[in-house]
Structure 1
Amino acid sequence: MKKRLFLLDAYALIFRGYYAFIKNPRINSKGLNTSAILGFMNSLLEVIKKEKPDHLAVAFDKGGSVERTELFADYKANREETPEAIRLAIPYIHEILKALHIPIIEKEGYEADDIIGTLSKQAEKQNYQVYMVTPDKDYAQLVSDNIFIYRPSRGGNDVEIWGVKEVQEKFEVQNPLQVIDFLGMMGDAVDNIPGLPGVGEKTAKKLLADFGSMENLLAHTDQLKGKLRENIESNKEKGILSKQLATIMLDVPVTFDEEDFAMSEPDFEAVGRIFEELEFRQLLQNFLRTYQPQMTTTPPPLTGNKPTEGQLSLFTQGDLFAQPQVMSEKKNSTNTPHFYQLADTPMAQQLLLQNLLQQTEVCFDTETTSVNALEAELVGISFCWSAHKGYYVPFPTDKAEATKLLETFRPFFENERIGKVGQNLKYDLKVLQNYNIEVRGALFDTMIAHYLLNPDMRHNMDILSETYLNYTPITIESLIGKGKAQRSMRTVPLDQVKEYAVEDADVTWQLKNVFKEEMPKVNAEKIYTDLEAPLIKVLAAMEREGVNLDVPFLKEYAKILDADIAQLEATIAEQAGESFNLASPKQLGDILFEKLKIDSKPKKTKTGQYATSEEVLAPFASKHKIVADILEWRQVQKLKSTYVDALPLEVNKLTGRVHTTYMQTVAATGRLSSNNPNLQNIPIRTPRGQQVRKAFIARNPDYVLLSADYSQIELRIIAALSEEHNMIDSFLRNEDIHRSTAAKVFHVPLEEVTREQRSHAKTVNFGIIYGVSAFGLSAQTNLSRSESKELIDTYYATYPNLRNYISKQIQFAQEHGYVETVLGRRRYLPDIHSRNQVVRGAAERNAVNAPIQGSAADIIKIAMIRIQHELIRQQLQTRMLLQVHDELVFDVPKTELNIVKPLIKEAMESAFNLAVPLVADLGVGDNWLDAH
């Protein structure tokens, strides 16, 4: 049997790993983005575990391809700069590979594919089977009877191995070497290989079928017709150049040495130290299972002043691998002593209640039939007030009997003296409200606590348990499955449910102990107690209340939009001279850039198609009516599908209302987020979009909607924080701040400010908060870049303290690593010292913006808490329905308007004392549009 050599393309796997986590990056407690390292290591360990290779090496690019750049100076010129997170990951990956005793192959002036190509052919001659581990299709040209592409698994798909047959089928070629011709004909937008104009994937395959090679094609262009012939004949040199650029070199000065590439035992201690620094606890287990499958490991308990035995401190994680440790099993329910009891008889439940009433703080967790709290029925409740101990109370299926059982525990849940601990408590509170139980007492939500400690990390319980307790909880999928095969929790054997449910409460209780110790150290305790904890009940009430939706209105409006869409499609077809699929980027690109030639140098995507995103097309809208119509068509389509058609489907069958979910732990600035459905994104800027707001209506004819909106709160905050007296004075005189700014920067009397001048001033006012540049301002206005620069310079001359404030904020962030809101909420900025100017610039803009946006978020939360308190205290029927960042929407009985309007206005305007007065504008109407 032939020996096997595995050669990994490092950067291909690193980039793939990094972007796999791009929507949910892996950030450790030190603020380091570890996505690229984790992604690469997952691929490496997968290969070692599955394939158990005899020989393995990892190839890195070093300095780019000198030969290709000499051939074509613009080779790879379009590539964006490597993300900072990847640049920082490379030294760690090198260090890990050295500890694993895996050879790193790199050669100045050569790319990894050239190194791998050379080594593959050398090893093949030594009777090896070679597997090139990469997602890159370019390697297909190297495939032979003994050389294969090994594409690691991704997104649930299994590993793919491409041999000669697979390459022949995928590229429709006779010989893998023809892949070079295929790539040369098509070109490559990513590597900036020009290719033959007008030749895409389909055409390239046809040309190869007809001519067999680039050279034969270029020698027989007389057999082609029309535009294709013209394009190829006038670009023959480009075709030959493209084939050269696409050819993987096989003569790199590297040598395959059987002994050097042989797999050997890693330095376990060194790997452990690196993984500990990176906080790769789960990956450590994977590594140990891979190299020592008969054993797994758990790091030894920390010593000294730590939360509890076996737990990890939040910010300081001790040297767990200073000495070699005896391998032991990973901590989980099967190997960790615990005492979880069933309380399934009246006597046991009464004893449990007596125990609960003696505690000062208890963690509880509900098990239910649905993730939708409004529809969920109780399956059981678990309780814990001491690590590794707890109780589970199963509930009957019958709602009346379940309600009766829950009455037993009402004295506990409604006891103000006993603090309640949970993970995502808002859900549990809403479920218990289905049974008329109002949870009272101080609330400690571990999800929110961790969000305040480290807002950029994930906050789900399993991740927190792995990270801070070194404990792997039982997964819900192991009980009820997932997808179509998922079953109800009621069908799971009671003993299994007990173990799962009490473990949740136990883990949450232990996390509470860790987080409570850390919160005072980072100034998070006060903002949790005063703001986030009281807000839980406010949001729970809003979510249960929901909002009324005029479904018949939306159905009629859908017909109007359908007519608008049809009219736009007809107009666009007329301008294009033909009908085509507007939803097809390829067809659209061909029409705009080949037929109508709206741009002489159109941009292309990585797949070689013309780029047709809004960002690309927007600059052409003023010059070409067809582009403006296409963008309008897209807007109408999105409006209809996202809102007009989708919102009626969100109406709850039980209540007849739409119920969003507000999330406190998503936006790092402290802003609330809304989903299922997102009611914070309902359009307002276009006439068509405004009609959607018209569909949100009052409860009945005796009610109205009231909208209360902070007036320019972010500008008021920056004026106060910067102590910019010119801006403060304008607010104190109750002037229109944008008109006032325009008068100052354009040197005209206030009453003579034009509409355009006010618009420019407004753009600058808000742009300053987000770090607008002359280029950015020019893109948002009709001003030239020089005019934009002059306007910004004049603006700072008018408001000099703003520039000082910006400089001070950046300096503070550089010195402390974070910035704070007026209430002390911290936004950590790990990239503030980045060597990458773009990355550092983004962190600097956040240093200015986060305290402003975050302070506005904190202030409206204070107002919400105060308003809700007053509505309850005065026993009013008014209900808070929606929060849209700076705006609150209420359902108000007409008879309460005179009471509620001053109550809401005073609560919002007195929420926080700034040097600039807060102003809330109130409006009333039968629907949200009229009220706003």
Structure 2
Amino acid sequence: MTTQNCDKKLFLLDAYALIFRAYYAFIKNPRVNSKGINTSAIFGFINTLFDLMKREKPTHLAVVFDVGETFRHKEYSEYKANREETPEAIRIAVPYIQKILEALEIPCMWKEGFEADDVIGTLAKKAEKEGYTTYMMTSDKDYAQLVSEKIFVYKPATRGNDIEIWDIEKVKEKFEVEEPAQVIDFLGMMGDSVDNIPGIPGVGEKTAKQFIKEYGSMENLFSHASELKGKMKEKIEANQEIGLLSKRLATIETEVPIEFHYENFTVDKPNEEKVVELFEELEFRNMIVNFKKTYNLISEKEITAGTSNKKNSDSAQKSLFDSVQEDNANIEESDHWKTLENTEHFYQLVDTPTAIKLLKQKLLKQKVVCFDTETTSTNSLEAELVGISFSYEKGKGYYVPLDPDDKQKTNEILDVLLSFFNSEEIVKVGQNLKYDCKVLRRYNVEVKGTLFDTMIAHYLINPDGRHGMDIMAETLLQYKPLSIETLIGKKGKNQKLFSTVPLEQQKEYAVEDSDITLQLKEKLQPQLEKDNLKKLFEEIEMPLMKVLADMEWEGINLDLHALKEMSKELDTNLSHLEKEIFTQAGEEFNINSPKQLGDIIFDKLKLGNKPKKTKTGQYATGEDVLLKLAHKHKIIDQLLEYRQLQKLKNTYVDALPNEVNPQTGRVHTTFAQTVAATGRLASNNPNLQNIPIRTSRGQEVRKAFVAKDAQHKIISADYSQIELRIIAAMSKDPAMIQSFNEGEDFHRSTASKVFHVPMGEVSREQRSHAKTVNFGIIYGVSSFGLSEQTGLSRSESKQLIDAYYEAYPLLKQYMMEQVEIARKNGYVETLLGRRRYLPDIQSANSIVRSHAERNAVNAPIQGTAADIIKIAMIQIHQQMIEKKMHTKLLLQVHDELVFDSPDEEIEEASSLIKNTMEAAIQIEVPLLVEVGVGKNWLEAH
């Protein structure tokens, strides 16, 4: 089942819209510093930015600027011709704003020949395909045309009013349209005096809305112009060309040649020193406090200083217009950061045989020791050790340097330290310990005993936060660690260059990591107990870390020959499809060219009554457009299949062989425990959790994942409908529980109840609709969403949802109770106590609030499912070790586990796996696991 990821929140800011807005907010009382610079626009923009970050906590962010003339100016020389010259204060402000954004590590985006609207529109649409929820922050109404289920207009607060978020329903209400895309027709008809878009003479807002209601589009209006009367008829008939031009000018381009690489948009740690330097230059003294509060970089003393005078407070709850003036009192800022330079410490280099032996003796006497490896690579299967640091007391630590080019000497040193790493009595502390354990494993060193990973601990306490050591040190210890950039001049800790750094500097950097990580452990451990997360941490997440390390180490076998043959077969299929498409089209053309494809579909074949066009005037040919035309012509199905096969070939079949490790000949993914706030694991480099399964051709890729050799088989074990079973147990709905306990086909049982027909008379279509609502209800599916998925009308979808709640009344009650629990506590919990914090549950904005309400229902269900399979993985792993079995757990794909098993263990392993998974937790309904065996993953699934 595909679940909507609600954690990826992208904000795209229309720079000039916000800068002009900020400038005019201070127009009567401009802010001018001692150098005579008007800083109104800079101050207002940055204040708005910080307000946004504190309110909404975006995971991804970018600011988009306009640059020079665009394609619209070339098509219509009078475009924006009546705009006044940009005020000097704004021209001065923009370079400062861009410098500040650079220091904040927030990307500034633009594209020559296009406006900010176009860049934002393109990025929003690309992000939507990646599962992101995008908010376009602007005061410009034109953006309403881009609004969709996952794209919103985020209008900043105005005097006396809060922020406003436009969703589909808001756009429909405001513009009186049937869908957001019609906003383009509306704007084209009435024109825009600000942008000097002419529109149709004589057509104002009221008339444009009336035309939209009657005709739906500008083109349809023109085709029915003969039906009009009097002067309006004359104006419409006489101005069709200018009307279509106006529509093109008003259309936001969504195919700008710019890429959306999500990693470039993450909200990262700022360059604090540079930000403060810029604010001091601009004389933004209170803004420095606001900045540090926004990024959690502030001490209690600064908070007091910054908030003692309400007049000077940069509160996140105040809009730009509620705090028009900032008091310019000269507040002296003390250096509140603790650093290695101003903190007493004793870090010792341990680089002789005698010193290493003495260190080992010291380590063996400790109850808790933090260690950290320094290596040549972030890939644990390739990394060579450069050194290991140790700390067991605050402010003290030791560094053992190692030569990555002298493995024999490194092994000799590790032999001396082996008794420490093998000790079951000593608690080992670290940050991202799985990596260190895998690196040491390459040197035949096993890390035993109780482990405490600060990254995982912080993740449980603050699942939506960032869990890097630097950010934790700053927020929890008010300590600013050394930067690796100062040592090697490049980002990224584990680089080959680290081994070239002088030993004294290596020691300072490496030991500080262990020292600070140990201090973080002392902060995090009590919080785990306070939040009732200790059991989850000690009995699930930390044992699971060892399981994942073994899985990643083992890797999975890939049949490269099968993929090569599949690639050839796909080439043949694509070539055959290409010829069929050309036959249907009556000519050859570039299938991958949206323009050429659009001309064939809409101009030549005349498919679609009102085809959408992009801003450049070419037809839209996305998958959503083609799907709506599927029943009209054979070429559409062929095109959809062509695209599907092309993606399959490029993304998986041709890409997976490049992921094979040359040393092991296997594919080794990395499982991340601290990414998804729900508790689910993530897989990357490569992502093996998204291998296609929905289509028969996509499933063929799983054929290439094969057993170790001819004497082994793949075992696949999959929880059946686990989330539905969990919600039945958590809601305690008797009808749901009875259905599962009696082993009924739950989708058929639901269809029988909601359509009021006997079980034996439920049609395939009714069961399908029931299945959709069964899974959709967990994620707060609306009548609109259900209608889109099922093809039912909205009223039919609403009736189906109402009937569903009538059939399962306690489910509805449970969902309401979960929302109330979230409002009361600020979080919800899984059955095992995993928390999901929902600060937006109290939001005054209905859209933001409803999003949190859906998470209040969904997070405990999805999180409990994640917890259950983690328990099963730990128990299966442990039993197989105790029984000295050779069956290996290779992959976890949400509700499925994949194993590699010798033929002689197949029966025992299958039984052990099924029984353990089904008994992982006791709830009111039975957990059901389906187990399959085969030579490859597809055959086993």
Q: Could you say what secondary structure the match of 2:930 adopts? A: strand
Q: 2:445 aligns with which of 437, 448, 464?
A: 437
Q: What is the rounded CA distance, in whole Å, between the counterparts of 1:550 and 1:516 in structure 2?
A: 45
Kept after mapping to 2: 8 A contact 1:547/1:658: yes
Kept after mapping to 1: 8 A contact 2:377/2:495: no
- AA in 2 matched with 1:911: A
Q: 1:774 aligns with which of 763, 778, 783?
A: 783
Q: What is the rounded CA distance, in whole Å, between the counterparts of 1:135 and 1:557 in structure 2?
A: 54
Name the counterpart of 2:37: 54
Kept after mapping to 1: 8 A contact 2:547/2:877: yes
Q: 1:890: how far off?
A: 0.8
Residues 1:288 and 2:276 are matched in the alignment: yes
Kept after mapping to 2: 8 A contact 1:296/1:327: no
Cα displacement string for residues 34-84 of structure 1 (whole angstroms, at most 9, x for unaligned residues): 9999x999x999xx99x987223329999xxxxxxxxxxxxxxxxxxx999
- AA in 1 matched with 2:719: Y
Residues 1:374 and 2:359 are matched in the alignment: no
Q: What is the rounded CA distance, in whole Å, between the counterparts of 1:296 and 1:340 in structure 2?
A: 39
Cα displacement string for residues 158-207 of structure 1 (whole angstroms, at most 9, x for unaligned residues): 99999xxx999x9xxxxxxxxxxxxxxx999778488999xxxxxx9xxx
Q: 1:799: how far off?
A: 1.4
Q: What is the rounded CA distance, in whole Å, between the counterparts of 1:294 and 1:796 in structure 2?
A: 59
Name the counterpart of 1:674: 683
Cα displacement string for residues 415-462 of structure 1 (whole angstroms, at most 9, x for unaligned residues): 111111111110011111111211112111111111111111121222
Residues 1:405 and 2:388 are matched in the alignment: no
Q: 2:94 aligns with which of 127, 133, 139?
A: 133
- Superposed, 1:902-917 pairs within 5 Å as 902-917=911-926
Q: What is the rounded CA distance, in whole Å, between the counterparts of 1:776 and 1:362 in structure 2?
A: 53
Kept after mapping to 2: 8 A contact 1:281/1:470: no
- AA in 1 matched with 2:761: E
Q: 1:707 to 1:57 in 2, by over 3 A?
A: same
Q: What is the rounded CA distance, in whole Å, between the counterparts of 1:663 and 1:806 in structure 2?
A: 30
Kept after mapping to 2: 8 A contact 1:187/1:608: no
Residues 1:543 and 2:552 are matched in the alignment: yes
Q: What is the rounded CA distance, in whole Å, between the counterparts of 1:490 and 1:621 in structure 2?
A: 60
Kept after mapping to 2: 8 A contact 1:713/1:856: yes
Q: 1:466 aligns with which of 474, 478, 494?
A: 474
- AA in 2 matched with 1:653: P
Q: What is the rounded CA distance, in whole Å, between the counterparts of 1:596 and 1:350 in structure 2?
A: 82
Q: What is the rounded CA distance, in whole Å, between the counterparts of 2:110 and 2:925 in structure 1?
A: 66
Q: Could you say what secondary structure the match of 2:480 adopts? A: coil
Q: What is the rounded CA distance, in whole Å, between the counterparts of 1:450 and 1:34 in structure 2?
A: 29
Q: What is the rounded CA distance, in whole Å, between the counterparts of 2:636 and 2:813 in structure 1?
A: 43
Name the counterpart of 1:358: 365
Name the counterpart of 1:566: 575
Kept after mapping to 1: 8 A contact 2:184/2:250: no
- AA in 2 matched with 1:561: L
Q: Could you say what secondary structure the match of 2:40 adopts? A: strand
Q: 1:322 to 1:386 in 2, by over 3 A?
A: farther
Name the counterpart of 1:759: 768
Residues 1:802 and 2:811 are matched in the alignment: yes
Counting matched residue pairs gives 753
Kept after mapping to 1: 8 A contact 2:375/2:495: no
Q: 1:120: how far off?
A: 4.1
Kept after mapping to 1: 8 A contact 2:378/2:495: no
Q: What is the rounded CA distance, in whole Å, between the counterparts of 1:454 and 1:606 in structure 2?
A: 43
Cα displacement string for residues 119-173 of structure 1 (whole angstroms, at most 9, x for unaligned residues): 846x6xxxx995473999xxxxxxxxxxxx99986999999999xxx999x9xxx
- Superposed, 1:653-692 pairs within 5 Å as 653-692=662-701
- AA in 1 matched with 2:304: D
Q: 1:767 to 1:157 in 2, by over 3 A?
A: closer
Q: 1:292: how far off?
A: 3.8
Q: 2:349 aligns with which of 319, 329, 342?
A: 342
- Superposed, 1:299-314 pairs within 5 Å as none
Residues 1:235 and 2:259 are matched in the alignment: no
Q: Which moved more, 1:506-515 or 1:904-913?
A: 506-515
Q: 1:526 aligns with which of 526, 535, 552?
A: 535
Kept after mapping to 1: 8 A contact 2:556/2:666: yes
Q: Which moved more, 1:480-489 or 1:336-345?
A: 480-489
Name the counterpart of 2:640: 631
Kept after mapping to 1: 8 A contact 2:104/2:275: no
Q: 1:615: how far off?
A: 3.3
Q: 1:609: how far off?
A: 5.6
Q: Could you say what secondary structure the match of 1:409 adopts? A: helix
Name the counterpart of 1:867: 876
Residues 1:892 and 2:922 are matched in the alignment: no
Q: 1:929: how far off?
A: 0.8
Kept after mapping to 2: 8 A contact 1:289/1:296: no
Q: Provide the aligned C-alpha RMSD in A.
A: 4.7
Name the counterpart of 2:204: none
Q: Which moved more, 1:588-597 or 1:728-737?
A: 588-597
Q: What is the rounded CA distance, in whole Å, between the counterparts of 1:578 and 1:602 in structure 2?
A: 21
Q: 2:392 aligns with which of 385, 408, 418?
A: 385
Q: What is the rounded CA distance, in whole Å, between the counterparts of 1:529 and 1:706 in structure 2?
A: 29
Q: 1:825: how far off?
A: 0.4
Q: 1:811: how far off?
A: 1.5
Q: 1:693 to 1:792 in 2, by over 3 A?
A: same
Name the counterpart of 2:521: 512
Q: 1:913 to 1:131 in 2, by over 3 A?
A: same
Q: 1:281 to 1:426 in 2, by over 3 A?
A: closer
- AA in 2 matched with 1:365: D
Q: Which moved more, 1:740-749 or 1:288-297?
A: 288-297
Q: 1:606 to 1:721 in 2, by over 3 A?
A: farther
Q: What is the rounded CA distance, in whole Å, between the counterparts of 2:427 and 2:286 in structure 1?
A: 33
- AA in 2 matched with 1:289: E
After TM superposition, the score normalised by the length of structure 1 is 0.72
Q: 1:131 to 1:604 in 2, by over 3 A?
A: farther
Q: 1:841 aligns with which of 841, 850, 864?
A: 850
Q: 2:461 aligns with which of 434, 442, 453?
A: 453
Q: What is the rounded CA distance, in whole Å, between the counterparts of 2:250 and 2:672 in structure 1?
A: 50
Q: What is the rounded CA distance, in whole Å, between the counterparts of 1:329 and 1:831 in structure 2?
A: 31
Q: 1:767: how far off?
A: 1.2
Kept after mapping to 2: 8 A contact 1:545/1:659: yes
Q: 1:561 to 1:312 in 2, by over 3 A?
A: farther
Name the counterpart of 1:6: none
Q: 1:699: how far off?
A: 0.7
Name the counterpart of 1:697: 706
Q: Could you say what secondary structure the match of 1:444 adopts? A: strand
Kept after mapping to 1: 8 A contact 2:718/2:930: yes
After TM superposition, the score normalised by the length of structure 2 is 0.71
Q: What is the rounded CA distance, in whole Å, between the counterparts of 2:393 and 2:283 in structure 1?
A: 30
Residues 1:651 and 2:660 are matched in the alignment: yes
Name the counterpart of 1:414: 422
Name the counterpart of 1:8: none
Q: Could you say what secondary structure the match of 1:739 adopts? A: helix
Residues 1:877 and 2:886 are matched in the alignment: yes
Q: Could you say what secondary structure the match of 2:419 adopts? A: helix
Q: 1:502 aligns with which of 507, 511, 526?
A: 511
Q: 1:898: how far off?
A: 2.7
Kept after mapping to 2: 8 A contact 1:187/1:196: no
Q: What is the rounded CA distance, in whole Å, between the counterparts of 1:849 and 1:404 in structure 2?
A: 52
Q: 1:706 aligns with which of 715, 723, 748?
A: 715
Q: What is the rounded CA distance, in whole Å, between the counterparts of 1:593 and 1:438 in structure 2?
A: 65
Gapped regions of structure 1 (runs ≥ 5): 1-21, 27-32, 63-81, 92-112, 137-148, 171-185, 198-203, 205-230, 247-278, 302-309
- AA in 2 matched with 1:753: V
Kept after mapping to 1: 8 A contact 2:105/2:270: no
Q: 1:321: how far off?
A: 4.1
